[in-house]
């Protein structure tokens, strides 16, 4: 999108402002992830934009067109309902051009996205994700209201504003056509507003009507079903951000989109994580969705095909969510092979770890009994005055000794003590715990060398026999 002069040794080369650096993002061949499919699969990395998403193109273009059309005047306020990325594109334009910017976001959007907007001077208004479409608390409705109430307010309206697909028609599509030397045969993008699929898709089809345009959405979104049957199904919640719909945005151009595929959250996050680990490409959840869809399409294609998949944004925006093992484990999204012992311990405690219950060697058996009853545990480590884990009171032996009279409630726990529990680090994969638990009933889990909890057979059995 830059109109800076061509680079030569004798002319200084720079951009007049950050907005001119948007676009011209690279196409990168996928190797490890595309191993099982015949076509060349190229990822268009929209994280190379200054705001690190495809929405820089949209936000800036919408502002420039609103200025040209007179909808946005000096001193005006740009308002938008956004899951964050369009808000950032708008906030960049607002910062450079001197407008105020208000972003209205559903509360499921991660903290990183809210903070980035604030860092760029935007005001962030948070609304409940659960507010149904059309209700006054819905983020889209709040944005509409604010834009009409504020003097000089301008609603960017990315779901219906034709300049959203318009900029992808003007830039994204031509870049893909140019960088594949006109050989692209399939274009795949995840569907949010539809702008990037519709706009770039229309441009590519105009160059070659045989280019297949594929949109991808999360399970729970209604667009695919609507395209296939003409019926508006009920939507269901999903975790991936920025894509999927409960209603039909005007910028989803069904005449351009040949097919809409559906991908689960689990597939999206799995593919997203493989991208960073196996290709060094750090992206967000919707990129995982798009690529999971692209690989499904590529399975049906030949070695002559070139599939271009848009990866809309950076993974930095999701460090505390989709890229966090703990978050994934809490949401039941971590593959068993990725799951760590510490994740299981946290799940068991439904959040923060409770303090590890221990006994001193001189504590009475009645104390052990009351802890077992109160906390529903079956074993209690015994820790001596030096802090060493010297043994364990185990429920069957304690009960047996009290029942057959070989020990009295006032005896010290050392009277029925068994050996200390085997230890294992919270960073170990769950399979390591499963292996050890074939021969022992419980393990002492440590973090940084310090015991923090106990993992038992019942805690891991769900992962072996779900
Ligand atoms: C993270 C993310 N990915 C993908 C998309 C989808 O792009 P589009 O709105 O062009 O369909 C969006 C849209 O907001 C998004 O925020």
User: Is there a single domain that holds both residue 209 and residue 287?
Assistant: yes
Confirm if 77 and 65 have CB atoms less than 8 A apart: no
User: Is there a single domain that holds both residue 90 and residue 197?
Assistant: no
- End of a domain among 155, 172, 207? 155
- End of a domain among 155, 187, 211? 155
User: Is there a single domain that holds both residue 262 and residue 314?
Assistant: yes
User: What is the span of the domain harbouring residue 445?
Assistant: 332-464
- Cβ(192) to ligand 1 under 6 A? yes
Query: Does any domain span residue 337?
Result: yes
Query: Does any domain span residue 150?
Result: yes
The pLDDT of residue 354:
62
Structure token pair of residue 27: 């196409």
- CATH code of residue 421: 3.10.580.10
The pLDDT of residue 375:
86
Q: Which residues pair with 453 in a beta bridge?
A: 445
Q: Which protein residue has the closest C-alpha to ligand 1 atom 2? A: 242
Q: Which protein residue has the closest C-alpha to ligand 1 atom 16? A: 242
How far apart are the CA of 242 and the centre of ligand 1, in A?
5
Confirm if 168 and 189 have CB atoms less than 8 A apart: no
How far apart are the CA of 82 and the centre of ligand 1, in A?
10
Query: Does any domain span residue 5?
Result: no
User: Is there a single domain that holds both residue 199 and residue 317?
Assistant: yes
| Of 189, 176, 155, the residue nearest 71 (C-alpha) | 155
Residues of the chain with pLDDT under 70: 1-7, 336, 350-354, 462-466
Q: Which protein residue has the closest C-alpha to ligand 1 atom 7? A: 192
How far apart are the CA of 60 and the centre of ligand 1, in A?
15
Ligand 1 pocket test: which of 81, 243, 294 has the largest number of ligand atoms within 8 Å of its C-beta? 243
Query: Does any domain span residue 244?
Result: yes
The pLDDT of residue 346:
79
Q: How many domains does the chain have?
A: 3
How far is it, in rounded angstroms, from Cα 290 to Cα 217? 8
Which residue's structure tokens are 């271009």? 308
- Cβ(195) to ligand 1 under 6 A? yes
How far apart are the CA of 240 and the centre of ligand 1, in A?
11
Q: Which protein residue has the closest C-alpha to ligand 1 atom 6? A: 192
The pLDDT of residue 28:
98
The pLDDT of residue 303:
98
Helix/strand/coil percentages in the chain, nearest 5: 40, 20, 40
Ligand 1 pocket test: which of 54, 221, 318 has the largest number of ligand atoms within 8 Å of its C-beta? 54
pTM of the model: 0.79
- End of a domain among 296, 326, 356? 326
The model's pLDDT over 329-353, given as tens digits with 9 standing for 90+, comes to 788 887 767 778 888 887 777 655 5
Q: Which protein residue has the closest C-alpha to ligand 1 atom 14? A: 242
Which atom of ligand 1 lies nearest, measured to the CA of 83? 16
Query: Does any domain span residue 1?
Result: no
- CATH code of residue 110: 3.40.50.1100
User: Is there a single domain that holds both residue 93 and residue 45?
Assistant: no
Query: Does any domain span residue 7?
Result: no
User: Is there a single domain that holds both residue 180 and residue 70?
Assistant: no
User: Is there a single domain that holds both residue 133 and residue 166?
Assistant: no
User: Is there a single domain that holds both residue 287 and residue 206?
Assistant: yes
How far is it, in rounded angstroms, from Cα 46 to Cα 88? 14
User: Is there a single domain that holds both residue 84 and residue 122?
Assistant: yes
The model's pLDDT over 263-299, given as tens digits with 9 standing for 90+, comes to 999 999 999 999 999 999 999 999 999 999 999 999 9
| Of 128, 426, 84, 385, the residue nearest 241 (C-alpha) | 84
Give the relative orientation of helices 55-69 and 85-97 as an angle to the nearest 10 degrees.
Answer: 50
Which atom of ligand 1 lies nearest, measured to the CA of 290? 4
Query: Does any domain span residue 450?
Result: yes
User: Is there a single domain that holds both residue 225 and residue 298?
Assistant: yes
The pLDDT of residue 108:
84
How far apart are the CA of 193 and the centre of ligand 1, in A?
7
Q: Is 389 left (phi over 0), alpha (psi -120 to 50) or beta?
A: beta
User: Is there a single domain that holds both residue 316 and residue 365?
Assistant: no
The model's pLDDT over 410-452, given as tens digits with 9 standing for 90+, comes to 999 999 999 999 999 998 888 889 889 988 889 999 988 889 8
Ligand 1 pocket test: which of 112, 203, 242 has the largest number of ligand atoms within 8 Å of its C-beta? 242
Query: Does any domain span residue 12?
Result: no
Ligand 1 pocket test: which of 112, 190, 200, 250 has the largest number of ligand atoms within 8 Å of its C-beta? 190
Residues belonging to the active site: 55
> CB under 8 Å to 311, separation ≥6 — which residues?
43, 44, 45, 46, 47, 275, 281, 283, 287, 290, 291
- Cβ(85) to ligand 1 under 6 A? yes
> CB under 8 Å to 99, separation ≥6 — which residues?
63, 72, 75, 76, 77, 78, 93
User: Is there a single domain that holds both residue 217 and residue 347?
Assistant: no
171: three-class secondary structure by DSSP: helix
Taking the CA atoms of 138, 139, 141 and 146 in sequence, report the sign of the dihedral they define: positive
> CB under 8 Å to 24, separation ≥6 — which residues?
1, 2, 175
């Amino acid at each position: 999108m830059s109109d800076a002069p061509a680079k030569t040794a004798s002319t200084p080369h720079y951009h007049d402002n950050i907005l001119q650096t948007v676009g011209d993002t690279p196409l990168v061949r996928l190797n490890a992830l595309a191993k099982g499919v015949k076509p060349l699969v190229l990822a268009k990395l929209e994280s190379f934009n200054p705001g690190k998403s495809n929405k820089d193109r949209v936000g800036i273009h919408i502002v420039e067109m609103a200025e040209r059309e007179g909808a946005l005047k000096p001193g005006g306020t740009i308002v938008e309902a956004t899951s964050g990325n369009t808000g950032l594109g708008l906030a960049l334009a607002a910062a450079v051009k001197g407008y105020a910017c208000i972003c209205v976001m559903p509360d499921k959007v991660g903290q990183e996205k809210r903070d980035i907007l604030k860092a760029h001077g935007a005001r962030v208004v948070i609304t409940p994700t659960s507010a149904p479409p059309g209700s006054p608390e819905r983020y889209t409705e709040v944005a509409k209201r604010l834009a009409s109430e504020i003097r000089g307010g301008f609603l960017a309206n990315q779901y219906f504003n034709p300049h959203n697909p318009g900029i992808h028609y003007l830039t994204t599509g031509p870049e893909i056509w140019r960088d594949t030397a006109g050989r692209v045969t399939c274009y795949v993008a995840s569907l949010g507003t539809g702008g990037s699929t519709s706009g770039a898709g229309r441009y590519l089809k105009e160059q070659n009507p045989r280019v297949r345009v594929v949109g991808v959405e999360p399970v729970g979104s209604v667009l695919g079903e609507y395209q296939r049957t003409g019926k508006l199904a009920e939507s269901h919640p999903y975790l991936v951000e920025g894509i999927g719909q409960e209603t039909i945005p005007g910028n989803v151009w069904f005449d351009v989109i040949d097919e809409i595929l559906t991908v689960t959250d689990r597939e999206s996050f799995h593919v997203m994580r493989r991208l960073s680990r196996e290709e060094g490409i750090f992206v967000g959840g919707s990129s995982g969705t798009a690529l999971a869809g692209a690989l499904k399409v590529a399975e049906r294609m030949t070695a002559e095909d070139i599939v271009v998949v848009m990866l809309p944004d950076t993974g930095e925006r999701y460090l505390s969510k989709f890229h966090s093992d703990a978050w994934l484990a809490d949401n039941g999204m971590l593959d068993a092979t990725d799951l760590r012992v510490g994740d299981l311990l946290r799940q068991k405690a439904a959040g923060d770890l409770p303090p590890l219950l221990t006994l001193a060697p001189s504590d009475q058996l009645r104390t052990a009994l009351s802890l077992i009853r109160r906390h529903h545990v079956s074993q209690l480590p015994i820790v001596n005055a030096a802090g060493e884990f010297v043994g364990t009171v185990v429920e069957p032996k304690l009960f047996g000794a009290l029942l057959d009279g070989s020990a009295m409630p006032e005896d010290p726990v050392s009277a029925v003590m068994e050996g200390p529990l085997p230890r294992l680090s919270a960073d170990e994969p769950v399979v390591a715990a499963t292996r050890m638990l074939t021969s022992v009933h419980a393990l002492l889990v440590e973090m940084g060398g310090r015991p923090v909890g106990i993992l038992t057979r019942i805690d891991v059995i769900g992962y072996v026999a779900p």
